[in-house]
Structure formats: C-alpha cells, structure tokens
Structure 1
Amino acid sequence: MLTLGSCYTEVIVDDVIVDEVPVQTRQVLHAYDLWYVDIESTQGLGEVPFLQRAFTLSFVSGLLYANNNLSGIGKTGNGLGIRVGYYDAGGGILEIDHDVDGIWSFEVYNINGRTLELYNRRSNTSYFLDGYQRSGFDYDRLFYENIELLLQEYEVWEKTYASETGYLNEFDEENFLQFYQGGTGTRFRSSVDPVGTPIPNIVWDYEGFYEIYNVQNDETLKTLTLDYTFMGNDYFELYVIDDRTVELYHPDSGTVYEFTGRGYIQYLKSGENSETRKRKKSDHPTMDVKRKRKPFSKG
C-alpha cells in the first residue's frame, strides 16, 4: 500500500500528478464525485458508525456528504446525498468531524488510483472506497448488492400491477408486503386488504420469515422466498425496476407482480432508524438456478 502522505511519491489520479504534500490527500478525495463504500471489502472487527451506514461519501470544499438511503440516490442533494459533517485532509491523514458521531481520524492509502483505503486506528478497521463520477455510477450494482436494505426502506410495499397471464394462485389475493429485521431473522408480513388502504389501517393476515438468495453467475438476479408460518413457501424471481418499485415473478404460476414502496423511511445522520440499520457483509446463500423471465416487460 502507498500512503498518500509520502514526501517522495507522486500520486497519479486521472493523469493528474499530485506532488504537493500538504494537498495530496485532499486532491485525491476531490478526484471523484462519489466514493462508494465497499462494505464487502471492510477489514477488521471494529466499526465506524457513519461509514457503516453510508452507501457513498462525497468531499466538497470541506463539507462531507453521504447517501444513507437507496431510495432517492442519484437525486438527493444533486446526487451527493445529505451533508453529514466536515473534513480536513493533508499529509496522508483525513480528519472527519461528523455531526453526530464526532471526530474520527483516518490514514489514507491509495490502492490503485481509483480505490482508497481509510484506516482508523481507534477501531483497527479499514474501509475501502471506490471512486466514481456521478454520470458513470453503477446504480444497478448498488441496488442489487443492497437489495435487502431497499426492501426495508419503506413501511409497506403495495401491489400496483399483476399480469393477466398466469395461473390463479393464493398470492393473487395479497396486496401488501412488509419486510423488517426481527429478533430471530428477516421477517415479513402480508395483507389481503384492498389496494389504497391507509398504512395505519392495514390488517396483517400472514407472517413468516423471508430469505433473499444470490444466483450463481447472474449478478442482476435475486430470488426471494416467503416462508409462511404454517402455510408453506412462495418463491419469486426478484427484480429492481427503480428505487421504489420491485417486480416479483412467480414461476409456479407464471404471474408477474409489481410492488411500489409506501411510507418512505429516511435514514439521516442520527435517530432510531439510523442506529438500528447498518450495512453488513452479505451472507445471502446462493442458488444455482436460471432466470425464467426477462424483467420489466409487462404482459
């Protein structure tokens, strides 16, 4: 690894040679609009709270911005997210004064010109950031790598479309889904209340555990199983249409459903929601299946 504070090393970012020691770290941080926090690459057993919550960071003239939500990403704050603190950088050291989590110091290492390592001695933990310009950011990758968190960003998901093709099945009657983290795992509830029912008035008819699976050799497909208490399972191919719409394809019946998020839960800098939801390395099991449907084509 190459520390950005070395007095004798030139750092090249986008063909710009940075050789002035006091501004090396700052100039590297400014080279990209967005720094994606690659939580899968984190090393160490500690934790930096605001890095554990953020999907992206942006460093703009001493102000630190973060995208803590998937819904609205790319639009909130002109793509940068919300302001969460201040920073100062130089000589290979990044100091962050977070509005809620306080002051944190990081040693900054340049891995390959586009990837940075932020090492925090207090927690003995390294976070890795991948640089992107806003116009080239891979939102598909972001949604699919963090799909469980997207499902939990809304109080409920309301069925807004069901294809006319497909065999009748019991899931046709279910109009609302809710996904949440329970004490014993990932849980869901569903309701057959009419579409348009106000969220506080929804009566939950079924409940159980849900599981999201990766699919071998297919990064843009996830599968979802709903394990109903006392009622067996439902299996779906799960596709992201946009940041508040998902598609569930039910292979057993051949029916396509769309669900739209209602009751947006915003994860700001602090508060109960932010404390209970943190990103973590994926532990989704993998299925060896082939997709049965191309997404997004209604009919």
Structure 2
Amino acid sequence: MRNFTLFSSAILSLLFLSSCYTEVILEDVFIEETPLQTRQVLEAYDLWYVDIQSTEGNGEVPYLQRAFTLSFVNGLLYANNNISGIGKTGNGLGIRVGYYDTGLGILEIDHDVDGLWSLEVFSVNGRTIELYDRRSNTSYYLDGYQRSNFDYDRLFYENIELLLQEYDVWEKTFVSNTGFANEFDEENFLQFFEGNAGTRFRSSVDAPGTPLSNVVWDYEGFYEIYDVQNDETLKTLTLDYAFMGNDYFELYVIDDNTIELYHPDSETVYEFRGRGYIQFLKSESSSEGKKRKKSDRPTMNVKRQRK
C-alpha cells in the first residue's frame, strides 16, 4: 500500500538523467524502477495470478477482487473468474472483461461492468507487480506466469472454499472397496455454501443419478476447512453432524470438478464430482456476493494418512 509524496516532474527528470535506474525503499518494500515501458511489463507474462493474501488496504477494486488471473493482450483485458475450467476457458486466458491502455507507470482499465479505473504499476521483482488504487489506498500484488508453467496446485489449494462453492451439488461417484462401514457411506450428495453464520453444508442420501431439482436435503450443518502444518498440498475438512459428531476427512483436488475425501477413521476413500456448474462472468450477476477474500483458515498439526 503506497504512502509517499510525489516529486515534481523537474526533480524526477534530473534523477532520471543522473542514472539509468533508481532504487527506492517504500515502507520496507524494495522497488526497482527501470525505464521499461509499462505495457511491456504487463504483456511479458501470459497470466498474472492475483495473490489475494498479499492485498494491502481496506478498500477494493471489484474486478481484481473477483479474478484469479488477469491477462493483458494487445489492449484487451482477460480474466479467469472461476477455478473450474481454468487453463481451458479462452485458451487459458479466461473471458474478455474490458480494455486497457498504459502510460509510464499508469494502467488505465475500462472494465465492461465496473467502468474506468486508473491504477499505478510498480515492479516489485522480475515476476511480481503491484497495482495501486489511489482512490481506495489499496494495493494488489500479481505474480506472473506463462501458461506452460502456471501453478495450478497453488490456485486450487489456496482457494479451495471457492472451488467447493462453484457447483450446486457434489455427487458421490466412487467408494473404495477397502475400508470399514460407517454412517457417511449413506451420503450421496453434498452442497457447500456461505451461510449467515459461516460456512454451511447440506447432505442427502438420495440415490445417485437423482436430478438436481429433486434432491432432498436430509441434513444441514457447519463445515470447516483447515490448513495442515508443513503440508501445503493437503487440506482437511470437518463436517459437523449433530447426530454423530464431527466427521473428519483429508481433502484432495483430483481435477477442477472432482474432489477426493479420505476418511481416516474408516480408511475409506470417496470421490465426488461437481454438478450444476456456477459460472462467474464479468459481474456477480450469476452469484451475488462472490468475491475472493483473504483466508483465515485455522491450522491443524496432523500427519497425512492417505497412502
């Protein structure tokens, strides 16, 4: 988040003539100013991952708050607003959401829904840029990737709650032959959503293949996702069943519409596939209130049990 006084243009010109670059430390963040044009910086990578955890400030830029990635291509702005389909939608770039133009250190965005925005661009290092919105005094940090080396594991596991909520229903499609019989064996449908009091889930014992409109929810309760200490690619999930206590699972992402739940108590593996894909386009019209936010997941100190 920027907090500094602008120099006059005359002083800046003298500074520029005295050296091919200047090194400035702002609020303990090292910034290297170079004469590279802003457009060249933005177009150097296919995808810019919006690292929402690093956001600074109390304001908001709506389209940055929704996007997982941005792409800048010949004046056209693209965004991936969904996890599901990322890497395939728009040949990996997502959907076109607006237009952009650049000046020296300035990015002008004309977003199809959110209108005109002027953002200041700072190079943090060779792979990271800062987009600063002066109106809200808020900074977003974006990491650059080519499509061939984009870190999909990072995206899925950092945003696992949103993946679970991108489908109306998760239907059980597989149960391992090994494992002990338990009450969760009967559950064939799960639904995850944000409730007034926190993250909620519903479950149903309706037969596999039941049309979504006919699914009857037998139970509703709270769920919680946990980070695991020293294991970035493992999340754990608890489902709060009042009649049998918390059911505990290791949660794995198989692909963008398949998850695996491993139940350590019974040593059973379940797979669920998403049904009823909810696509987030340029605005929140398809799912009002969908925005990314900093994760405040609790952490478990457990060891991975799935072999």
What's the TM-score, normalizing by structure 1? Answer: 0.91
Structure 1, unaligned stretches of length 5 or more?
A: 12-17, 295-299
Note the aligned Cα RMSD (angstroms).
Answer: 1.8
Deviations 1:213-255 (A, max 9, x none): 0000000000000002444110000000000000000000000
Structure 2, unaligned stretches of length 5 or more?
A: 23-33
**Residue 253, structure 1, aligned to residue 266, structure 2:** yes
Q: Secondary structure at the match of 1:157?
A: strand
Task: Give, in angstroms, the shift of residue 280 of structure 1.
Answer: 0.5
Q: Secondary structure at the match of 1:269?
A: coil
Partner of 1:14: none
Partner of 1:68: 81
Cα distance in structure 2, aligned partners of 1:235 and 1:273: 32
Partner of 1:149: 162
Partner of 2:300: 287
CA contact (8 A) 1:268 1:274 kept: no
Give the letter for the 1:120 counterpart.
D
Deviations 1:118-170 (A, max 9, x none): 00011110000000000000101110000000000000000000001000000
Partner of 1:32: 45
Give the letter for the 2:78 counterpart.
Y
Point out 4+ residue stretches in structure 1 off by more than 4 angstroms. Answer: none
CA contact (8 A) 2:284 2:290 kept: no
Cα distance in structure 1, aligned partners of 2:112 and 2:59: 20
**Residue 131, structure 1, aligned to residue 163, structure 2:** no
Choose from 208, 215, 219 the match for 2:232. Answer: 219
CA contact (8 A) 1:163 1:257 kept: yes
Partner of 2:275: 262
Cα distance in structure 1, aligned partners of 2:116 and 2:288: 18
Cα distance in structure 2, aligned partners of 1:272 and 1:183: 20
Choose from 180, 197, 208 the match for 1:167. Answer: 180
Cα distance in structure 1, aligned partners of 2:21 and 2:86: 34
Q: Output aligned runs, 1:14-93, within 5 Å.
A: 19=35, 24-93=37-106
CA contact (8 A) 2:82 2:280 kept: yes
Partner of 2:194: 181
Task: Give, in angstroms, the shift of residue 274 of structure 1.
Answer: 4.8
Cα distance in structure 1, aligned partners of 2:21 and 2:257: 44
Cα distance in structure 2, aligned partners of 1:131 and 1:217: 25
Cα distance in structure 2, aligned partners of 1:272 and 1:67: 16
Cα distance in structure 2, aligned partners of 1:36 and 1:204: 37
Give the letter for the 1:145 counterpart.
E
Larger radius of gyration: 2
Cα distance in structure 2, aligned partners of 1:201 and 1:37: 38
Cα distance in structure 2, aligned partners of 1:52 and 1:270: 11
* Count of aligned pairs: 284
Cα distance in structure 1, aligned partners of 2:62 and 2:287: 9
Equivalent pairs: percent with the same residue? 79
Deviations 1:25-82 (A, max 9, x none): 0000010000000000000000000000000000000000000000000000000000
Instruction: Note closer, same or farther for the CA distance 1:230–1:166 as it changes in structure 2 (3 Å cut).
Output: closer
Partner of 1:15: none
Cα distance in structure 2, aligned partners of 1:254 and 1:275: 39
Task: Give, in angstroms, the shift of residue 273 of structure 1.
Answer: 3.7
Cα distance in structure 2, aligned partners of 1:37 and 1:243: 19
**Residue 107, structure 1, aligned to residue 125, structure 2:** no
Give the letter for the 1:103 counterpart.
L
Task: Give, in angstroms, the shift of residue 270 of structure 1.
Answer: 1.5
What's the TM-score, normalizing by structure 2? Answer: 0.89
